[in-house]
Homo-oligomer: A and B are copies of this chain.
Amino acid sequence: MPPIAPETVLAQLRWRYATKKFDPTKKIPSDVWSVLEQTLVLSPSSTGLQPWKFVVVTDPGVRKKLQPAAYTQPQIVDASHLVVFCAKAPPTPADGERHVAHTAAVRGVTVESLEGFRKMVVGAASRPPEEGAAWAARQTYIALGVFLATAAMIGVDACPMEGFEPARFDEILGLPAKGVKSLALAAAGYRAADDKYATLAKVRFPVNEVIERV
C-alpha cells in the first residue's frame, strides 16, 4: 500500500492551477506554513549543495513596495505568503569543502571517509561563475517544483511567477548584501471564490507528445 494513493496525488495536481485571485482574508495556518517551509528545506539538490535561499515575505508594507516591481499583480499583496526563490552566488570549491565537512559532522564520520563524495562535490562547486550561476538557478527551480507540488498536496493554492523585475526585488529586499539573487516567486494562500481561472480547462500537451518511451 503506497503511503498516499496515486489517484489522490493526481487529483491534487489537477486541482492546482496558477491562482490569479487569492482570498486576502484567508491566511495559511502557521502549522501548515511550517510544513511548507520544511518542504523547501528538504528539497533535493545536486550533491546536496542547496545553492538557494527562500525569502518569505508576509510584511504588508514590503509586499506593497514589491507590487509595482511585479507589474502590479494582485497576488503579490493578496496571497497569504509570498516566497521569493533566490539562488546563492555560484558555489566555490571552499563552499564544497564546507558542505563535505558539514556532511561528515551530521553523519558522524570523518571527512577522509568521504573522499569520493568530496571529489564530486568540489567538482560541482568548481564550475566557471556563469555556468555555476545557471546551475544554482536550475537547482532552485527543483525547490520551486517541490513547493508547488507539496502545496497542492495539502490544499494550499499557489501562483508561480516569473513576471517581476528581479533587480528591483533584490534591491527592495536587500538581497545583494545577503549574496543571493531573486529568480522566481510563488504566492501561496487560498483562491478567491470568484477566481475565474480556477475552472478553466488545463492546457497541456498530450502525454504522447511529452513522453517518449524507449
Contacts and interface: CB of A to CB of B under 8 A. Distances in A.
A103 interface: yes
A6 interface: yes
Interface size range on A against B: 35 or more
A128 B31 CA distance: 43
Chain A interface secondary structure, helix, strand, loop or mixed?
helix
Contact of A141 (B102, B141, B149, B173): B141
For the complex formed by this chain, how many copies does it contain in all? Answer: 2
A139 B15 CA distance: 20
Interface in A104-120: 106-107, 120
B107 A56 contact: no
Contact of A13 (B10, B39, B46, B137): B39
16 contacts: A4-B4, A5-B154, A9-B35, A13-B38, A37-B207, A40-B211, A41-B210, A53-B211, A55-B212, A56-B211, A124-B162, A138-B141, A142-B142, A142-B160, A145-B145, A153-B153
